[in-house]
Amino acid sequence: MNRIDLLATAGLATLACVGVLAAAPVLAPLSSADRAGSPWQKAGLPQQKKPWTRFAVVQLEGETVLQVDADNSYGNLVHPVPEAASALRRLSWRWRVDLPNPDADLRRKDGDDVPVKVCAMFDVPMAEVPFVDRQVLRLARVRGGESYPSATVCYVWDARLAPGTQIDNAFTPRMRMIVLQGPQSPLHTWQVQQRDLATDFLLLFGKESRNVPPLLAIGVGADADNTHLHTQAHVADLVLQ
């Protein structure tokens, strides 16, 4: 994957879908992700030829949850955020990892995989994007024909880095990550997360933008295309308010 592909991946929000999201809650339940017409849409790399990460609504311990399987694959589910809700900043969810990725290393391109991530995509004004990144982003938008976001904050579960680690994506600095669960986090166990998106955006992108820009989309994803392994995770109760 090159930087343009990663920018395109970070930009999987299709703003044309916004009109169907006027009613509360802002995010449709993940349990609806496999239904026809769901605002949760599968998205990956431009003209993706790699295997797709599999998303399935399953029963686990008596509840309906989203299962995420990355098997030498790449993929995301993305939910656009309507303009009327673009100032919402509280995101909460539950997640667990059942098959981790011991070979992942987010500091390297050949290890840039995660068993699960939750991402928030923002519309930073182009004038505030550093010059080189701005040119790459413009090229990605022309190449992909999409209005890709200019900044993405991703929360990740990692088997190597400690919780609290902040790191740029190995392919593009337009995607920046915070490790929430690390090598000591138990497997097969639900973890609850609540994040203030404004605080985290300023933590990661505050040197570029003093103001928190509109929120474009929320995404859930996983990948194992660089390490060529199989991981499995589950996500539930993803709420934006």
Determine whether domain 3-240 maps to CATH 2.60.120: yes
More confident residue, 60 or 207: 60
Given strand 230-240, what is the order of strands in its sheet?
Answer: 54-60, 63-71, 230-240, 90-99, 191-196
pLDDT average, residue stretch 5-23: 43
228: left (phi over 0), alpha (psi -120 to 50) or beta: left
The predicted pLDDT at position 70 comes to 98
Question: pLDDT tens digit string along 124-164?
Answer: 766 666 665 666 666 665 565 556 666 899 999 999 999 99
What amino acid occupies position 216? L
Q: Using CA atoms, how far apart are residues 11 and 45, in angstroms rounded to an integer? A: 10
Question: pLDDT tens digit string along 97-108?
Answer: 999 999 999 999
Question: pLDDT tens digit string along 30-69?
Answer: 999 999 899 999 988 777 889 999 999 999 999 999 999 9
The predicted pLDDT at position 111 comes to 97
Mean of the per-residue pLDDT values of the chain = 87
Residues 6+ positions from 196 with CB-CB distance below 8 Å? 89, 90
193 pairs with which residues across the strands?
93
**Closest CA relative to residue 75, chosen from 241, 238, 239, 231:** 231
The predicted pLDDT at position 134 comes to 64
**Closest CA relative to residue 126, chosen from 209, 4, 6, 204:** 209
The predicted pLDDT at position 23 comes to 46
Sign of CA dihedral 180, 185, 187, 193: negative
The predicted pLDDT at position 81 comes to 96
> Using an 8 Å Cβ cutoff, are 178 and 153 in contact?
yes
pTM of the model: 0.86
Query: Which residue is it, tokens 């589950």?
Result: 234
The predicted pLDDT at position 15 comes to 35
Q: Supply angle C-alpha 151, 155, 158, rounded to 5.
A: 130
Question: pLDDT tens digit string along 194-205?
Answer: 999 999 999 999
For 210, which DSSP code?
S
Domain boundaries, the chain: 3-240
